[in-house]
């Protein structure tokens, strides 16, 4: 294998991806004091929607959603809903606002900035609620968190116990998930060497670590493109249960603008259903029309095909895409308590609601596209 100084990611946007989507603690909350007070003071302010004339008797309501990261194929359902007119059929004009390392969707939405948000970190969501921020999740993109432990195929880490005596590369924000995983396996960090790593998986490729915490639709694809065979152990199989890329809003919006949320989610689910059947088409639209600059078509196609299975589970087969279970949120709370990441329990009813999904599906498990 040729010498690797640095892995070149297949998308320009991916070179900036540093797992803040799954790991960063909310700056406004951790700062405390006046910052937190200011955030809470704004929580009673509902993000406005702007009815505009559509050239007909029916007005179009404009809403914004704050992403947790750049605009790429992870938002395939929204791009399909835009392209196929599903939002328009619901009387909506939707603006998708990109996020990044300096943007926390919870802070933006709770402060009254935008109607909806997408977040990736259940830990941050729980901590926000414990500090009095009135946000609730109402649907999820992924049925399980799309993270895992990646190792070289020639020296695979196939179980948590295989990590004993190994060098494990973790980003700072992955330590919480790893703590949960180790506790369930009856292990501790001092039984292995923890190596601080970043977004670049070069340390694994060059033998500096034996395993590397990855985003399963990202770094494994980058290494495979370089001809490096890898083995990925999903976080869920290691005992870490959590949702990924879930949608949320404030209690005020759920109370006073519930119909807007229902209409948005119904159209978005239709978009995800379309994307499932046409992954290459929506990946190309992501690159050519809706996504951030620098995305590569072939990689977005690979990512889209890889992420679709993460959106499905026995629950979605029974209930439909984007469904959640309260038991998953309860498990998150239990794990955070057990590992000392929070110091008091919280009711699942404060964290999430199934009311919007119930209204959207109305007893069915599919929304015709």
Summarised one tens digit per residue, pLDDT across range 149-179 is 999 999 999 999 999 999 999 999 899 999 9
Number of C-beta neighbours around residue 165 at 10 A = 9
Is the pLDDT score of 348 beyond 70?
yes
Whether 203 contacts 135, CB under 8 Å = no
What local confidence, expressed as pLDDT, does residue 48 receive? Answer: 47
Phi/psi of residue 154, each to 5°? -80, -10
Residues 342 and 263 occupy one common structural domain:
yes
Residues 261 and 214 occupy one common structural domain:
no
Is the pLDDT score of 52 beyond 70?
no
Instruction: Return d(Cα 197, Cα 195) in angstroms, integer.
Output: 6
Residues 27 and 140 occupy one common structural domain:
yes
Instruction: Return d(Cα 63, Cα 306) in angstroms, integer.
Output: 29
Average pLDDT on 345-366 reads 98
What percent of the chain lies above the pLDDT cut of 90? 81
Residues 255 and 151 occupy one common structural domain:
no
Each residue's pLDDT tens digit, 74-89: 999 999 999 999 999 9
Residues 154 and 221 occupy one common structural domain:
yes
Q: What is the CATH number of the domain that holds 349?
A: 3.40.190.10
Point out the domain boundary residue: 238, 257, 287.
238
For residue 214, the cross-strand partners are 148
What local confidence, expressed as pLDDT, does residue 101 receive? Answer: 78
Tokens of 311: 């959106």
Point out the domain boundary residue: 210, 238, 266.
238
What local confidence, expressed as pLDDT, does residue 22 receive? Answer: 39
Residues 132 and 259 occupy one common structural domain:
yes
Task: Identify whether 231 is part of a domain.
Answer: yes
What local confidence, expressed as pLDDT, does residue 319 receive? Answer: 98
Point out the domain boundary residue: 238, 272, 293.
238
Residues 50 and 123 occupy one common structural domain:
yes
Residue range(s) defining the domain that contains residue 47: 20-144+242-361
Least confident of 17-21, 258-262, 290-294, 339-343: 17-21
Is the pLDDT score of 51 beyond 50?
no
What local confidence, expressed as pLDDT, does residue 127 receive? Answer: 96
Question: 137, 295, 148: which is closest to 216 by C-alpha?
Answer: 148
pLDDT band at 58 (very low <50, low <70, confident <90, very high): low
Residues 224 and 259 occupy one common structural domain:
no
Residues 326 and 233 occupy one common structural domain:
no
Residues 307 and 161 occupy one common structural domain:
no
> Could you identify the residue written with the tokens 């395993």?
211
What is the pTM for the complete model shown? Answer: 0.86
Task: Identify whether 36 is part of a domain.
Answer: yes
- Measure Cα distances from 278 to 45, 274, 310, 313 in Å: 39, 6, 16, 19
Task: Identify whether 10 is part of a domain.
Answer: no
What does the chain come to in residues?
Answer: 369
Task: Identify whether 286 is part of a domain.
Answer: yes
């Amino acid at each position: 294998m040729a010498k690797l100084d640095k892995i070149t990611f297949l998308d320009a946007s991916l070179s900036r991806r540093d797992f803040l989507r799954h790991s960063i603690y909310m700056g406004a909350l951790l700062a405390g004091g006046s910052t937190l007070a200011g955030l809470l003071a704004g929580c009673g302010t509902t993000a406005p929607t702007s009815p505009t004339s559509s050239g007909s008797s029916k007005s179009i309501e404009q809403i914004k959603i704050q992403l947790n990261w750049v605009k790429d194929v992870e938002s395939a359902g929204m791009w399909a809903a835009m392209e196929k007119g599903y939002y328009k059929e619901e009387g909506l004009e939707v603006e998708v606002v990109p996020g990044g390392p300096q943007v926390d969707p919870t802070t933006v939405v709770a402060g009254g900035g935008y109607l909806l948000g997408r977040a990736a970190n259940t830990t941050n969501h729980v901590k926000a609620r414990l500090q009095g921020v009135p946000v609730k999740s109402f649907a999820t993109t992924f049925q399980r968190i799309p993270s895992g432990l990646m190792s070289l195929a020639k020296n695979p880490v196939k179980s948590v116990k295989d990590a004993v005596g190994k060098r494990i590369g973790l980003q700072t924000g992955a330590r919480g998930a790893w703590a949960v995983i180790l506790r369930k396996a009856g292990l501790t960090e001092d039984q292995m060497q923890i190596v601080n790593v970043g977004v670049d998986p070069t340390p694994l490729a060059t033998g500096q670590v034996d395993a590397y915490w990855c985003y399963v639709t990202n770094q494994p694809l980058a290494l495979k493109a370089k001809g490096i065979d890898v083995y990925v152990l999903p976080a869920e199989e290691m005992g870490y249960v959590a949702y990924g890329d879930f949608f949320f809003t404030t209690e005020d919006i759920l109370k006073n603008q519930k119909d807007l949320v229902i209409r948005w989610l119904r159209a978005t689910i239709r978009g995800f259903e379309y994307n499932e059947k046409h992954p290459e088409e929506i990946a190309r639209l992501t690159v050519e029309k809706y996504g951030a600059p620098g995305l590569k078509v072939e990689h977005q196609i690979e990512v889209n095909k890889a992420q679709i299975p993460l959106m499905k589970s026995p629950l979605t087969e029974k209930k439909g895409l984007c469904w959640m279970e309260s038991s998953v949120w309860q498990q998150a709370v239990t794990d955070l308590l057990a590992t000392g990441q929070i110091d008091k329990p919280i009711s699942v009813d404060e964290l999430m609601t199934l009311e919007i999904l119930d209204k959207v599906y109305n007893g069915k498990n599919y929304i015709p596209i």
